[in-house]
């Protein structure tokens, strides 16, 4: 019964900044529990979505709710935590002081020792923020977000600029938080990150939701490979090969987007012994977004 | 499946929830405490705002004047005017530059997304200004008494301290207005451009009476002039009968800057910086 109220919801939301349309007709229901990832390139509208849900910006039209209420209400804000993209945090306060301050904002904060442990800050409590490394600073921002022991956590590009190892250890902290039955909304432009953490991925581009599904469903649509080759096969023959989802053909130079690169390559070589310049590459996420946008327009 | 939930519980139930769960005052106290600690640990803030007024006072108020009673009069006069100069600087830099920078770097957004009342954030900055202004004034009073042989009635010392610290409040509002109108990168430059000429033309460096006549008329239109005059009244230089006019002027400027800051705050709402 309580599941009838979404943790967060956007209904037919439009939002512009001056002449720039940030979101056009976005509707999104986020059920309590688990991780939802907003995936998209820079400027897609991910951060705007987070700002609206946090009540930091108002929609031009449509409605935004948190736990069925106005996000700007103090009672809503007590149930959430937010890790935003921050250029600079006051550097002269110690980690312990930052945590102590943010804990004072909530009626039932998480014990400070638990916050340090959950964010991987043990041993750094007495360091001033200005003396921390980039990864440690992000962990403090994460700690500030979980201080209030929130039901829902917003993470806006939490691992931007991390190396692979730091990113993976940070993922563990997020998983630890989710395992307590909480809801996490994460924005990222790494498909890998969304795949590693999320139960549901919402792909957003140019202010619109262009795909929404489980990681497996999304990956199937965007994780194809690209084959380039020079061939004397006809365009229709190329298109007929199983696994080819897209084809660009120009005077014998073919560019194919395929779901199973090995199978298609085998088929190509079998049918055309003179085939040359064979090249197989992964699809860049940007191209995957284009593919998704294209397929949506075709549908 | 997707049931549209509407926000419809009354504001009064929210107020009740607040008072039940925690003392609302506690957040204000903690916020102010850490704002003071944070600010006092920034050398780039403390050295100019505390150091420069003291240095100017020592040089122009204590070292340069010479000869018995004249020197004592100068030390008393400049304790009032350089004190005003000092607290105005603290207000403009703590609020103007502080808010502009925290807003521009996204830190204010983190605060606003938290349950911290926005008013607690700004109150903390005002309280910090008052505390640091008090520290500055105590230091200057000690220096004036010990090295400048400034002698006043206890009531005059207290009046000076109260005038300078409370008189800083309109300048906090002025800083806030600048902090919201200026971008994060230009706020410090704008504050500097406003601060020094405004202090000079208000007669805080050299007495307004010594300025050319047309500039004396101009001084009345500047808020620091009125704080300087009130401080001089407190130390017994300015006739006390003029005080109500200066108080009204400062209150008027304070209200004006508060309105400007509120309009700028509204305009800024939802915009992204940095």
User: How close A58 comes to chain B (CA, Å)?
Assistant: 7
Q: Enter the tokens of residue A213.
A: 């599904």
Question: pTM (2 decimals)?
Answer: 0.82
Residue of higher predicted confidence among B64 and A182: A182
Q: Taking CB atoms and an 8 Å limit, are B4 and A63 in contact across chains?
A: yes
Residue of higher predicted confidence among B218 and B274: B218
The half-sphere exposure of B42 on its side-chain side, counting CA atoms within 13 A, is 22
Please give the Cα distance from B17 to A258 (Å, whole number). 57
* B16 has pLDDT over 50: no
User: How close A97 comes to chain B (CA, Å)?
Assistant: 8
Cα dihedral B151, B152, B153, B157 sign: negative
% of residues, chain B, pLDDT over 90: 65
Mean pLDDT of B69-92: 93
- Please tell me the predicted confidence (pLDDT) of residue A218: 80
User: How close B273 comes to chain A (CA, Å)?
Assistant: 10
Q: Worst-scoring range by mean pLDDT, B42-46, B64-68, B88-92?
A: B64-68
Find out whether B84 and B224 touch, Cβ atoms under 8 Å.
yes
User: How close B27 comes to chain A (CA, Å)?
Assistant: 6
- Please tell me the predicted confidence (pLDDT) of residue B64: 84
Long-range contacts of A17-26 (CB under 8 A, 24+ apart): A17/B271, A17/B272, A21/A207, A22/A48, A22/A207, A23/A48, A23/A49, A23/A52, A23/A59, A23/A207, A23/A208, A24/A206, A24/A207, A24/A208, A25/A62, A25/A208, A26/A62, A26/A204, A26/A207, A26/A208, A26/A209
Q: Worst-scoring range by mean pLDDT, A85-99, A271-285, B89-103, B167-181?
A: A271-285
Please give the Cα distance from B137 to B160 (Å, whole number). 9
Q: How many CB pairs under 8 A join A and B?
A: 116
**Res. A94 pLDDT band, cuts 50 70 90:** very high
Please give the Cα distance from B161 to B170 (Å, whole number). 16
Judging by DSSP bridges, how do beta strands A276-282 and A34-39 pair with one another?
unpaired
Please give the Cα distance from B46 to B41 (Å, whole number). 8
* B12 has pLDDT over 50: no
Q: Taking CB atoms and an 8 Å limit, are B104 and A87 in contact across chains?
A: yes
CATH topology of domain A8-219: Rossmann fold (3.40.50)
Contacts of B274 in chain A (CB under 8 A): 87
Name the closest residue on chain B to residue A98, using Cα atoms.
B34
Using the structure block, give the residue that is written with the tokens 């730091």: A166
Q: Taking CB atoms and an 8 Å limit, are B38 and A80 in contact across chains?
A: no
- CATH 3.30.70 spans which residues of chain A? 223-282
* B209 has pLDDT over 90: no
Contacts of B34 in chain A (CB under 8 A): 93, 97, 100-101
Torsions phi, psi for A119 (to 5 deg) = -95, 0
Q: Taking CB atoms and an 8 Å limit, are B2 and A9 in contact across chains?
A: yes
Please give the Cα distance from A37 to A46 (Å, whole number). 10
Please report the ipTM that was assigned to this predicted complex.
0.84
3-state secondary structure of A43: coil
**E strand segments, chain A:** 8-17, 20-30, 34-39, 61-66, 80-83, 152-156, 183-188, 200-205, 208-213, 225-230, 244-250, 253-258, 276-282
User: How close A275 comes to chain B (CA, Å)?
Assistant: 51
- CATH 3.40.50.300 spans which residues of chain A? 8-219
Q: Taking CB atoms and an 8 Å limit, are A56 and B4 in contact across chains?
A: no
Find out whether B79 and B150 touch, Cβ atoms under 8 Å.
yes
Mean pLDDT of B81-110: 93
- Please tell me the predicted confidence (pLDDT) of residue B87: 97
Find out whether A143 and A129 touch, Cβ atoms under 8 Å.
no
Please give the Cα distance from B231 to B208 (Å, whole number). 14
Name the closest residue on chain B to residue A55, using Cα atoms.
B113
Q: In this complex, which of A6, A85, A106 lies closest to B115 when CB atoms are compared?
A: A106
Q: Enter the tokens of residue A212.
A: 């929404």
- Beta-bridged to residue A205, according to DSSP, are A208
Please give the Cα distance from A165 to A175 (Å, whole number). 16
* B274 has pLDDT over 70: no
Find out whether B180 and B99 touch, Cβ atoms under 8 Å.
yes
- Please tell me the predicted confidence (pLDDT) of residue A288: 63
Contacts of B94 in chain A (CB under 8 A): none
Contacts of A100 in chain B (CB under 8 A): 30, 34
Q: In this complex, which of B7, B113, B271 lies closest to A70 when CB atoms are compared?
A: B7
Mark out chain B residues that contact chain A at CB-CB < 8 A: 1-7, 9, 14, 17-18, 21-22, 26-27, 30-31, 34, 37-39, 41-42, 101-102, 104-107, 109-110, 112-117, 269-272, 274
Instruction: Please tell me the class of the A223-282 domain.
Output: alpha beta
Q: In this complex, which of A55, A57, A92 lies closest to B42 when CB atoms are compared?
A: A92
């Amino acid at each position: 019964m309580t599941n009838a109220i979404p943790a967060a919801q956007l209904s037919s939301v439009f939002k512009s900044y001056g002449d720039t349309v940030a979101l056009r007709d976005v509707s999104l229901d986020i059920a309590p529990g688990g991780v939802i990832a907003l995936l998209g390139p820079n400027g897609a509208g991910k951060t705007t979505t987070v700002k609206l849900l946090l009540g930091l910006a108002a929609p031009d039209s449509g409605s935004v709710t948190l736990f069925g209420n106005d996000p700007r209400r103090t009672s809503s804000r007590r149930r959430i935590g937010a890790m935003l993209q921050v250029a600079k945090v006051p550097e002269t306060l110690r980690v312990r002081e930052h945590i102590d301050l943010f804990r004072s904002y909530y009626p039932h904060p998480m014990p400070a020792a638990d916050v340090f442990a959950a964010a991987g800050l043990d041993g750094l409590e007495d360091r001033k923020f200005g003396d921390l490394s980039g990864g440690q600073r992000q962990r403090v921002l994460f700690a500030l977000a979980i201080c209030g022991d929130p039901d829902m956590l917003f993470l806006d590009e939490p691992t931007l600029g991390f190396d692979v190892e730091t990113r993976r250890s940070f993922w563990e902290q997020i998983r630890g938080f989710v395992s307590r039955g909480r809801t996490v909304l994460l924005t990222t432009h790494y498909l890998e990150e969304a795949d590693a953490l999320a139960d549901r991925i919402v792909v957003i581009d140019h202010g619109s939701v262009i795909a929404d599904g489980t990681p497996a469903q999304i990956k199937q649509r965007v994780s194809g490979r690209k084959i380039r080759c020079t061939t004397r096969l006809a365009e229709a023959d190329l298109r007929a090969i199983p696994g080819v989802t897209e084809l660009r053909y120009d005077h014998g130079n073919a560019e194919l987007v395929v779901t199973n690169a090995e199978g298609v390559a085998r088929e190509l070589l079998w049918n055309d012994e003179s085939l040359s310049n064979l090249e197989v590459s992964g699809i860049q996420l940007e191209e995957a977004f284009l593919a998704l946008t294209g397929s949506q327009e075709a549908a | 499946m997707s049931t549209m939930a509407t926000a419809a519980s009354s504001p009064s139930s929210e107020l009740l929830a607040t008072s039940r769960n925690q003392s609302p005052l506690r957040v204000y106290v903690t916020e102010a405490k850490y704002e003071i600690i944070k600010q006092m640990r920034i050398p780039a803030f403390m050295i100019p705002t505390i150091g420069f007024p003291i240095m100017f006072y020592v040089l122009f108020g204590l070292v340069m004047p010479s000869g018995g009673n004249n020197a004592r009069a100068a030390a008393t006069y400049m304790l009032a005017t350089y004190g005003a100069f000092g607290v105005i600087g603290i207000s403009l830099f703590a609020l103007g530059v502080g808010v502009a920078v925290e807003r521009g770097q996204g830190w204010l957004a983190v605060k606003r997304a938290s349950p911290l009342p926005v008013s607690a954030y700004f109150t903390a900055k005002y309280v910090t200004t008052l505390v640091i202004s008090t520290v500055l004034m105590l230091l200057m009073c000690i220096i004036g008494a010990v090295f400048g042989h400034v002698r006043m009635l206890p009531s005059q010392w207290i009046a000076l301290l109260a005038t300078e610290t409370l008189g800083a409040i309109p300048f906090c509002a002025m800083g806030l207005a600048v902090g919201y109108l200026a971008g994060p990168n230009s706020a410090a430059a704008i504050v500097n451009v406003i601060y020094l000429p405004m202090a000079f033309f208000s007669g805080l460096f050299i007495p307004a009476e010594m300025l050319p006549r047309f500039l004396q008329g101009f001084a009345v239109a500047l808020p620091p002039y009125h704080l300087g005059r009130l401080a001089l009244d407190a130390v017994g230089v300015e006739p006390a009968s003029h005080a109500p006019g200066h108080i009204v002027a400062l209150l008027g400027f304070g209200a004006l800057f508060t309105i400007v800051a509120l309009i700028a705050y509204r305009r800024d709402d939802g915009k992204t910086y940095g």
